[in-house]
Structure 1
Amino acid sequence: MKFARLPLLLTLLFATLLLTACGPSNTVPLVAPTVPNNVLPAPNAPRVSVVVFEDKRDSQDLGVRRDGTAFVGSQDASQWVSQALADELRRCGMQVSYALTPDQARSGNPDFIVTGTLDKAWLREVSATELVCNMSASYRVASRSGKLSNRETLNAGQTRNDLPSGDMAKDLMTSCLRDLVQPMASKIQTIIGQK
């Protein structure tokens, strides 16, 4: 009778180990959100240069797992956010360039320069099946004449409950990033006067 339960216990143990191994790794691939239907800019579309956002976060880590170890990104988080914003503005029909510094942006003589800060990009593992992501960034638009918009801060947050998988953290971060940059691009479009 005791040996009859052995295969069931071994199967449960194997399934538990398999699910644990499928959980998110500590390195989160930071990939750009994919949105279909790219738009070609009109010939008279404004030229906008997005400068890499300044990283104002307290830590370079992306968050914390339940065991206390850190989530880390596969690339620089501020560059990831800035590039995603540039891509989103491009999808809005603008002529967009990407610059590492404000001086580099000015050298291209764009109509507008977008600068900003990454204030938060944090991922927290609540359980084996639950992850929470919070992001916050501020931006400002400057025209060629030097007129500045007010600095505005936008926030995004999501929770994902799902079976553990290696892509869960990446998918959640990408989705949260999309929720951050889409409204930001829309607001910048309004500031620039393109509707």
Structure 2
Amino acid sequence: MNALRVLVCVALIGLAGCAGSGEKIPIAIPGTFTGAAAPAPGGPRIAVVPFEDKRGDQRYLGRRAHFLGGESYFDVPSGAVSNAVAQALVDYLTRQGWRASVARAPGADGADVTIHGTITELSVNATGGFLHTDLAAKNNVMFQIANHSDDSTVRERVSGSATDQVFWFDPEDAQALVTDLLESNFRKFLGDVRIDGRAIRLR
């Protein structure tokens, strides 16, 4: 009985300590993608330009609702989701053996292909409950691929969502959920396209 009381007290103290409001919680994008590094890159030179952020609420990446009241906010440290997601795509493509880099503008750096993206959804939210926190993330991106060798354009949309529940919330839980979701959507994107000489086509 005494052990149970101690456990309950510790839990309540922990919950009370997590009930602060207004805190900004940094979520790094890109995170660390899983899997081994790819072989030496080859194929067309790909320039990824900063994405267009068309989310309904561009102020934050999401919110954390505390069990005992109040809200905290998930935020990208760089402050620019458009740049962060473009860099995340470059990191992922590079690990898959593609010759990708971030460029300031279409056609820069003598690239064979330019990829531009429009983000309509990217969020992670956490809702605290008694001895648990529910997390949910969403992502929706429209990719536009410009092949400079023949001036053709390819468009592809990918979307996805992910959830998790943890006993004791840590910002790394939200970080991991966002990273896994982006990786999943980038994997879908690569599954829908193929390299054709110096261009990228739909499968």
TM-score of the two chains, using structure 1 as the length reference: 0.80
State the partner residue of 1:123: 124
Q: Are residue 29 (structure 1) and residue 51 (structure 2) matched?
A: no
**Number of equivalences:** 185
> Which whole-Å CA distance do the structure 2 matches of 1:89 and 1:11 have between them?
47
Q: 5+ residue gaps in structure 2?
A: none
2:31 counterpart letter in structure 1: A
- Two-structure CA RMSD over aligned residues (Å): 2.9
Q: Which structure's residues are more often helix, by fraction?
A: 1
What is the Cα deviation at residue 189 of structure 1? 3.3
2:113 counterpart letter in structure 1: F
> Which whole-Å CA distance do the structure 1 matches of 2:47 and 2:146 have between them?
10
What is the Cα deviation at residue 143 of structure 1? 0.7
State the partner residue of 1:97: 101
Listed as ranges, the matches of 1:75-94 within 5 Å are 75=78, 76-94=80-98
Q: Which structure's residues are more often strand, by fraction?
A: 2
User: Which of these residues, 55, 58, 61, is aligned with residue 57 of structure 1?
Assistant: 55
Identity rate, percent: 24
C-alpha contact (below 8 Å) 2:192/2:202 kept by paired residues:
no
> Which whole-Å CA distance do the structure 2 matches of 1:32 and 1:100 have between them?
22
Larger radius of gyration: 1
> Which whole-Å CA distance do the structure 1 matches of 2:7 and 2:163 have between them?
31
C-alpha contact (below 8 Å) 1:19/1:164 kept by paired residues:
no
User: Which of these residues, 50, 68, 77, is aligned with residue 74 of structure 1?
Assistant: 77
What is the Cα deviation at residue 22 of structure 1? 6.5
Worse-matched range after superposition: 182-191 or 134-143? 182-191
- Alignment deviations for residues 86-142 of structure 1 (CA, whole Å, 9 cap, x no partner): 12222232211211332xxx1311111101111111122233421111111111111
TM-score of the two chains, using structure 2 as the length reference: 0.77
Q: 5+ residue gaps in structure 1?
A: none
> Which whole-Å CA distance do the structure 2 matches of 1:169 and 1:20 have between them?
20
Listed as ranges, the matches of 1:1-195 within 5 Å are 9=5, 11-18=7-14, 21=17, 26-30=24-28, 31-39=30-38, 40-42=40-42, 45-60=43-58, 61-66=60-65, 67-75=70-78, 76-102=80-106, 106-128=107-129, 129-144=133-148, 145-149=150-154, 151-166=155-170, 167-189=172-194, 192=200
